[in-house]
Amino acid sequence: NQALTFLSYKFKEISAFMRETTNSGGQILSSPSNAETQSLLQQCKQVSQSMKTPRPGRFLSCLEPVVSSPATADHLIHLYESNIETAFRILHRPTFHNEYEKYKTIPTEIVDVTMLKIQLVMAIGFGLCPKFSDLNGVRKMACQWLYTAQDWLSGPIEKDRLSIDSIQVQCLLILARQVLSVGGDLSWVVMGTLLRTAMQLGLHRDPRHFPGISNL
């Protein structure tokens, strides 16, 4: 009870401070003390960002899909979409196609999580393609993409891991592990993480209560 009373008192202090220093839109009012507070907050954000940058798991060790030809890559993506996406709606196709076309045009501007999705989709396509399934080199490359995605997901939990993109990577990774038989029998373990991540994002809530959220 004492702890709850203390917390209630502190929240009232914070609420009073916010009313005094911000307007109705949440913007900080102009005053010397408020300007100093805003400056300190900005410095704290900069320090936080500089500390996060060198953390392990923020950079990928295998960024670029290595496929013999664009036609092969297109075929692998078609295999995924025609066999998997029809049963498990994971990707928003127009968005993914735009990202894929951008990769083919300007690969250096593709963010890590988009590259992971492209890699995993191709890895699943490899597993579904008989002419590739028996080639050790191809399988090794596809497995490396799986390990890269797992490394990225296993990195320190940060804001870029709590997103729809991250959910998509987790779903694709589970399917890729099963298709390529890479620890597929333990997929239920990572499914628990996927479920809790989705709940952390609020995806368990009834969308009827949030009319402003896009269905895309």
List, for residues 137-168, the tens digit of each pLDDT value: 677 888 888 888 888 888 766 666 788 888 99
Residue with tokens 């799986």: 146
Q: How do residues 58-117 score in pLDDT, each as one tens digit?
A: 445 445 555 657 888 888 899 999 999 888 889 999 999 999 998 888 887 888 889 999
Handedness of CA 59, 150, 206, 214 (dihedral sign): positive
Read off the amino acid at residue 84. Answer: I
Q: Is it the case that residue 4 has pLDDT exceeding 70?
A: no
DSSP reduced 3-state for 150: helix
CA dihedral 179, 182, 185, 191 (to 10 degrees): -80
136: pLDDT confidence band, cut at 50, 70 and 90?
low
Exposed, middle or buried, 178 (CB in 10 Å: 0-12/13-18/19+)? middle
Whole-model pTM: value is 0.66
